[in-house]
Structure 1
Amino acid sequence: MGRFRDWWTGTRYPEAGIAPMTRAHVRSALLALDDPDKPWRVRAGQSGADVLAEWHMIEPAWGSGRNREQTERRFKFVLRLDESAREARVCAHVHEVTRTGKNLRWVAEKKVGRGPRTRVWSKKFHWEKDAEGRRQRVYSVDFDSNYMRDPMQKVVLGSGWTWRGVHRL
Structure 2
Amino acid sequence: MGIFDRLTGTRCPPEGVSPVPAQELRAALLGLNRAEEPYVVRYGGGERCDLLAEWRLTEPAWQQTFVRSEITHAVRIRMRLDPTAHELRALEEQWELSRVGTPTRLQVTSQYTRGPSRTVSRQWTIGRGADGRLEATETFRFDSARMREPLRDLVLQLGWTWRGLVLGKL
Q: Give me the TM-score of the superposition, normalised by structure 2.
A: 0.80
SS in 1 for 2:6: helix
* Pairwise CA RMSD: 2.6
Which digits, 9 at most, give the CA deviation of each residue in 1:15-57, with x for residues without a partner? 0000111111111100000111212111111243111111125
Which digits, 9 at most, give the CA deviation of each residue in 1:55-106, with x for residues without a partner? 1253139xxxxxxxx656421111111111111101111112224688869x
**What residue identity is the alignment partner of 1:7?**
R
Alignment-derived partner of residue 88 in structure 2? 88
Alignment-derived partner of residue 49 in structure 1? 49
Q: Compared with structure 1, are the counterparts of its residues 4 and 141 closer, same or farther at alpha carbon in structure 2 (3 Å cutoff)?
A: farther
**What residue identity is the alignment partner of 1:128?**
G
Q: Give me the TM-score of the superposition, normalised by structure 1.
A: 0.80
Number of equivalent positions: 157
Structure 2 residue 68 is the aligned partner of structure 1 residue 60: yes
Alignment-derived partner of residue 166 in structure 1? 165
Alignment-derived partner of residue 26 in structure 1? 25
Q: Sequence identity of aligned pairs in percent? A: 34
Structure 2 residue 13 is the aligned partner of structure 1 residue 14: yes
Larger radius of gyration: 1
In the TM superposition, structure 1's runs of 4+ consecutive aligned residues that sit over 3 Å from their partners are 70-73, 99-105
Q: How does 1:7-156 map to 2 (within 5 A)?
A: 7-47=6-46, 48-55=48-55, 56=57, 57=63, 58-60=66-68, 73-99=73-99, 111-115=111-115, 117-156=116-155
Q: Compared with structure 1, are the counterparts of its residues 46 and 101 closer, same or farther at alpha carbon in structure 2 (3 Å cutoff)?
A: closer
